[in-house]
Amino acid sequence: MPVPSTLSLWDETAQEQDLHTPMKADVVTDVAIVGGGYTGLSTALHAAEQGLACCVLEARQIGFGGSGRNVGLLNAGLWLPPQDVRARLGSADGTRLVDILGEGPSYVMSLIERHQIRCELTRSGTIHAAHSPKGLKDLERRAGEWSRLGAPVRLLSRQETTEKIGSEAFYGGLLDARAGTLNPMGYVRGLARAAQAAGVRIHTGVAVTALVKQAGGWVLETAQGTVRAKSVILATNAYSDDLWPGLKQSFVPIHFFQVATEPLGERVARILPERQGIWDTGQIMFSLRRDAADRLIIGSMGSVIGGEKGLSERWAARQLARLFPDLGPVRFETAWHGRIAMTGDHLPRIHRLDEGLYTPIGYNGRGIAPGTVFGKAMADLLAGGREADLLMPVTDVRPETARGLKAGFYSAAFAANQVLRSL
């Protein structure tokens, strides 16, 4: 397994072309957006469609952060079950967020169809798989609430789960028919193409070094020139740096790694035959999916450790052998990891950093649909909407308690998990 020269498997296999557009002159615009991922490009696309001039500044390349390193599970809702979201946000705010994000995959699919984004979309759902009897109890609780809300979710028996996954390792599963899978880099590049076609200026390789508030708006300073804007959206999420003081201290950064096999053809015909993506109920969860070329992509919390025949590859081989004893030895093609912004209550945030300066942040591993929907919400706000109509209440930035200790603990625990499960 060579050290990858690209961000991820998706960077290599996406059908949508990458976009390289340097900045060669100063810019004056209505909205400046820092970050070329799901949130930033969704904000730009939707704002441009409402008549606002927009400029996206991406320090590296489109999808460089979590968007291009994602697992590619297009899930509904949040990591928390609906009843817990309401308990933490209150009935009215929690219900609104649950309802909107429950429709998130459908909205993403509508964008993919409208803009003909080539991202290997599947519509067969995703499966939350029970790794233990306790995990099955958690799924029963989730299924009961989603069913009460009228969502098309179904609790699978152990036998049904075995048939859909191709493994006898699970005690049951929760099938969500709203969900699907996609090539995450293909999707984010497609958003960039659609935004550019709507008139958005997108510049890559442009790092913002300072934000300066001036009468009537903001000045974004870069090595290539300045951008003057009435409003600014920081769409950097887990890849936030020191551009705005205290922002990166507002969440705990954790990593999620993935290892991809070479294309396996008929060898995987009985593994995820309907191509649902899965993740399990384990405290240190893992994910599994099968891509359009019949690779198996398996991942878990933590960073890639070692290169060819290193710890992460051994972990992946051991897990695939455990799940699919008849599969036999496999060769791995590449491995990568991305960063997730975790919050203490597992809820995202919309922060008003200053007048005309906002950031949606903290998706807790659910970037595709929430990033897209939150981006649309920010565009609606900047086009004349009210803060009160956003998906959730606007808050000030607050530091995450014991952030450094938590990040170090999680990193050590995830590395230990790889060691133990690779034996």
149: helix, strand or coil: coil
pLDDT tens digits, residue range 221-275?
999 999 999 999 999 999 999 999 999 999 999 999 999 999 999 999 999 999 9
The DSSP letter of residue 327 is S
Residue range 287-299, pLDDT digits in tens: 999 999 999 999 9
Nearest to 305 by CA among 8, 69, 64, 1: 1
* Mean pLDDT, rounded, for 57-76: 98
Phi and psi of 3, rounded to 5°? Answer: -65, 125
| pLDDT recorded at residue 6 | 65
Q: Which domains does the chain have, with CATH numbers?
A: 9-125+178-421 (3.50.50.60)
pLDDT for 1 equals 40
Q: What is the mean pLDDT of residues 14-19?
A: 96
Nearest to 23, CA basis, from 232, 196, 225: 225
- For 352-378, what is each residue's pLDDT tens digit? 999 999 999 999 999 999 999 999 999
Query: Using CA atoms, how far apart are residues 320 and 296, in angstroms rounded to an integer?
Result: 9
Largest distance between two CA atoms of the chain: 67
**Are 354 and 215 a contacting pair, CB within 8 Å?**
no
Q: What is the pLDDT of residue 309?
A: 87
- Quick one: pLDDT at residue 225? 97
Q: How many Å apart are CA 179 and CA 176, to the nearest integer?
A: 6
**203 bridge partner residues:** 57
Read off the pLDDT band of 220 (50, 70, 90). Answer: very high
The candidate with the shortest Cα–Cα distance to 346, out of 364, 366, 327, 334, is 364
Q: What single string gives the DSSP state of each residue in 25-63? A: S-EEEEEEEE--SHHHHHHHHHHHHTT--EEEEESSSTT
Say how far apart CA 363 and CA 360 lie, in whole Å.
9
**Other C-beta atoms within 10 Å of 121: how many?**
19
Residue 205 and residue 62 in contact, taking contact as beta carbons nearer than 8 Å:
no
Give the closest residue to 202 by CA, choosing from 335, 333, 3, 36: 36
Distance CA 388, CA 52 (A): 21
Query: In this predicted structure, what is the pLDDT of residue 2?
Result: 40
Who's near 242: CB < 8 A, 6+ residues apart? Answer: 248
Q: Are strands 73-74 and 180-181 parallel, antiparallel or unpaired?
A: antiparallel
**pTM here?**
0.97
| For residues 315-341, average pLDDT | 97
Residue 216 vs residues 152, 211, 339, 356, 403: alpha-carbon distances, Å: 47, 14, 35, 9, 35
Select from 301, 286, 42, 377 the least CA-distant residue to 187: 42
Residue type, 127: I
Q: What is the pLDDT of residues 153-185, one digit of tens each?
A: 999 999 999 999 999 999 999 999 999 999 999
> Given a cut of 70, is residue 318 above it in pLDDT?
yes
